[in-house]
Each structure stands twice: as structure tokens, then as C-alpha cells.
Amino acid sequence: MKLPVSSMPKVTIVKDSPTTKHVVVVPISNKKCVIKDQAKYLKQLDLDVFSGSNLIKIDSKQSLFFVDYQKKDEQVDTDIKKLGFSISSSIKKFDTVVFENFDELLSFLSTAASASEDYVRGDALISSPQERAMELLLYGIYFGAYEFDNYLTEKAEIAKKFLLVTSTLDVGCKNVVKKMTNYSKALWFERDLVNVSPSTSTPKWCSDHSATFLKEAGFSAQILEAPALKQKKYEGIIAVGKGSSQPPSYLIAKYKHKSAKKHVVLIGKGVTFDTGGVNIKPDGGKNMKGDMSGASTVVALGAYLAMNKEKVNLTLYVPFVENHINGLAYRPDDIIEYKNGLSVEVHNTDAEGRMILADALIDGSKAKPDLIIDMATLTGASHVAVGGEASTFYTNRKEMAKRVNESSATSTELSVELPLIKSYNALLKTDHADVKHTGGRYGGSITAALFLQKFVDKDIPWVHFDLSSAFQASSSGIHKAGATGEGLLLGSKLIESL
């Protein structure tokens, strides 16, 4: 199986509408056509009963897709994304979707986008309202077009081409189309990697496919497996991986740009399936194939930045393991001695993510980068704190918190800062080791972040994203069931802002 396995559409700028069979998008707002030349189509539609979208056939070559754009000032960005999502997710059995007079639609949407609260908050990262509107619309289109149907007998019949008819689009907007095309490639890879059956997505399988994807984007990559992990004393990765018949695999990848002024380390938690280990999960691990979403996101993020030839050097440290149960599995009361000299007492084997991240953070700190970013589905406590539509983040630098907040606004991927409360370090004290790896039920997300911080060089800016509340979804809003790709666009905005 080669990733991505899902069919990917293509967005193209053209000067004229095609002569082949296609669907024309007719956006409506306040019962009027957004594009003036499309007013003739309204006679096809009863606006008094119309709500949402309608597909109306005209002849053998052209059909009309009416879509209602309801502008709400307090959620303009979401509305534009939903518009794109509605178009791509609703139109089936047509190969080509056409946006006539696209510049007129873009002008309408950019007027709305320029007034949004998120545009104002993140204006340092966006050069124009037109580019903002273009990005949001394409974001919605790509999310709506994604279908993971690899195991279904009946395949989804999504549109393969989205044509933007215009001869006046500026260079900035054309660049957005190119970047969002690369974004879609990264997004498809991230979601497919997580959505594949966990009996397929073993640690080695994930490392191999991730390395291939990164190499295609311009990275060099190496994979460390059992003998090398033991020789180099990656004790956390080894401990968690012992309980599975599928051995752990550690991906290290590097991208260098000749004009780079910054070096960023990306670290992702890659637990390909999590039973909880000896402290087995009550439900046996349902949906825990998604516990590698941190890893899949940083791999996709690195590839996306490389495809865009971002002027930054990147190093990825991505440990993949399966947390399973057998006679060799690590257990509560085990003491793990890391190669930075810190000893860690295990209190709950279902808190395995921080054990493998510790090894990667030690490596990341040795690389002396300008910034370390780690992403992980780390704690249920994060989910409890902020609900299902946001991630949480922690950082050791106030300036970095400001950058993350701006990047969250411009990406529309909501992330909420939680505090690193120093006094909570007392909750990680234990009698027979330097530290224990869990701090109890209350403040669990905070104590998990404090544990990770112990493996980060204090002189290096660091951001930890806990994706537990946003890494996967049921079919709702602009998400299809399964992996969401949350953190990909947010992470790219953050790195672009450096």
C-alpha cells in the first residue's frame, strides 16, 4: 500500500470554462447571486424554499450547484471554510467543478475576511484579505473532498478537478493556490497514515512510509531499529516497545535550505496503537490507532514546509512504537534510566507517550536548534480542559506564546495556552528515582508537560502541543470521520513567523 491511498482533487486556475461536462458553482447571499452574471440562473431556483445547496441539471454538459453563503461577522473564517467544504463534499459523480468569474467571488469573500476578528489578531502573518479568503476557501474545499474509502466496496465519487476561471488573479493569490496544493498533499498523507487499519500501520510500516514521503519532499532520512536503539540507549522507546511483537522504529530526518537563518526541531509521538499496556484501557483501546497523530502531523508539517521551500532548516525526531501487552511489557514500578542521566519511575503504563518523547527531546536539545516543537496526543486531561474543538499548548517563552496565538488565529486551528505551574513539579517526586512520570489525576495535562520539560535544554525555546482533543472527529462541521490533520496549518504558520 502506497500513501496517500485516497483520491486527491486538483485546483487549477484557468481563463475559460471547459467545454466538457461540469458543474458550475452559483454562490448566493441574501437571496442574491454573489456573481452578477449568474443572476440568470436564479430562475432555476425557488428561493423561498431553498436552504443550503441544490444541484440542478441544465443540459448534458452543465449543471448548477447553488450554495448559500450566510455571513456572520463573529465567525467569518469558519463560514468561508464551510462554503468550500459544502461545495466539495456535496458534489458527487461529476469530474469537474467550475467557479465562474472567480475574482468576483474572491472579492466578495475577502471583504468579509478583512473584517474578521482572527484576521485582525493575526494580521502580521497575512499579506492581504484576498489571500486570506483564498486560503480559507481552499482549506474548506480540500477538507470536503477528502474521503477515506480504502476498505469500502463502494468508493466515493468526488470531483477530481476544481477550476477557478479568472484572468486577473494576483501573484499572491496564485502562490496561495500552489501552497494549498502542497498542503493538501501533506494533509492527505497525515490523515491516511492515521486512518489505515492498525494491523497494517505497524511502527516499521509508519517509519518507512514517512521516510519515503519526506525524501520526496527534499529530506534525508534514517531509521533506527532495535539493535541501534539498544546501542544508543533509547531506553524510553525500548521500554514501551517491549510489550509488542512489532518492534519500535525511530525516524530521524533532516531538511536544509541554503538560505536558512533558523533551525527548528519537530518531534511527534508515534504510538501506532495503544492498548494502555499493563494498565490496560477500559475500552481496550478503541480509536487508539490515532495515538500516532502527533507523529503523522509533524511528518506532514515537515514535508509541507519543504515542498514550499521554506527558508528554514528542519530536523525531525519521530519515534514509532506499539504499546501492547506480553510477558516482556514494561510495568508500573519499573525505573528507566535515560541517557541524559535522569531516572524515571513508571506509575502507569498508559502514560507511554511521554516516555518515548523524552528520548526524542534529549536528541532535539543536543541539536541546539532555535526552537523545539513537539506534538502529541498526550493526555485526556487536555481534552477535558478545552473540549473537542481545540488543542492545548505549553511553552517556556512568552514571546513564543504570542506567536502561537497569532498562528492559531491565522490558521483557524484553535489552540489554548495552559500554564507550566512550577509548584506542580512536586507532584512528580518519588522515593526511588529522580522523578515519576505521572502526577496524578488533577492537573494531568500540566504535569505531563512539566515532565517533558525536564528533557528540554532550558536555553532552547520550546512549544509542546497536546492534540488529544482535536486529533480526530466524527463527521461534523468541516471534518469527515477519522483523522483531522489538526496542527498542520497551525505549525506551518508558527514556523513561517520566525
Catalytic residue among 354, 403, 480, 493: 354
Quick one: pLDDT at residue 158? 87
What's the per-residue H, E or C state across 82-134?
HHHHHHHHHCECCCEEEECCHHHHHHHHHHHHHCCHHHHHCHHHCCCHHHHHH
The answer on pLDDT for 453 being more than 80 is yes
The answer on pLDDT for 476 being more than 80 is no
* pLDDT band at 12; cut points 50, 70, 90: very high
Mean pLDDT (whole number) for 467-494: 80
The answer on pLDDT for 125 being more than 70 is no
CA nearest to 78, candidates 462, 443, 413: 413
Quick one: pLDDT at residue 93? 86
The answer on pLDDT for 362 being more than 70 is yes
Residues contacting residue 393 through CB under 8 Å, at least 6 positions apart: 401, 404, 415, 416, 417, 418, 463, 464, 465, 466
74 DSSP 8-state letter:
G
CA nearest to 174, candidates 226, 71, 86, 102: 102
Place of cell 462541521: 477
Q: Quick check: is 179 catalytic? A: no
Quick one: pLDDT at residue 159? 92
- Helix axes 171-195 and 203-217, enclosed angle (nearest 10): 160
Span 31-61, pLDDT tens digits: 899 999 999 998 888 888 787 888 988 887 8
| Rounded Cα distance, 297 and 294, in Å | 5
What's the per-residue H, E or C state across 215-260?
HHHCCEEEEECHHHHHHCCCHHHHHHHCCCCCCCEEEEEEECCCCC
Span 149-174, pLDDT tens digits: 889 998 888 899 999 999 999 999 99
Is residue 426 within 8 Å of residue 445, measured between CB atoms?
no
Quick one: pLDDT at residue 456? 98
Quick one: pLDDT at residue 342? 98
Quick one: pLDDT at residue 483? 85
Query: Based on C-alpha coordinates, what's the Rg of the chain?
Result: 24
pTM, entire model: 0.95
Catalytic residue among 281, 311, 331, 397: 281
CA nearest to 374, candidates 358, 386, 351: 358
* pLDDT band at 286; cut points 50, 70, 90: confident
DSSP sequence for 323-392? E--STT---TT-EEE-TTS-EEE-S-TT--HHHHHHHHHHHHHHT--SEEEEEE---HHHHHHHTTS-EE
Quick one: pLDDT at residue 416? 96
Quick one: pLDDT at residue 116? 62
Percent of the chain having pLDDT more than 90?
76
Span 181-217, pLDDT tens digits: 999 999 999 999 999 999 999 999 999 999 999 999 9
Cα torsion 194, 199, 204, 208 to 10°: value is: -50
Higher pLDDT, 271 or 470: 271
Is residue 342 within 8 Å of residue 454, measured between CB atoms?
yes
Quick one: pLDDT at residue 122? 47
Is residue 144 within 8 Å of residue 479, measured between CB atoms?
no
Quick one: pLDDT at residue 488? 96
Of 27-36, 299-308, 316-325, 390-399, the range with the lowest mean pLDDT is 27-36
Percent of the chain having pLDDT more than 70?
95
| Rounded Cα distance, 288 and 77, in Å | 31
CA nearest to 23, candidates 165, 174, 180: 165
The neighbour count for residue 206, using CB atoms within 10 Å, is 27
Q: Quick check: is 354 catalytic? A: yes
Is residue 240 within 8 Å of residue 351, measured between CB atoms?
no
Q: Is 270 helix (H, G, I), strand (E, B) or coil?
A: strand
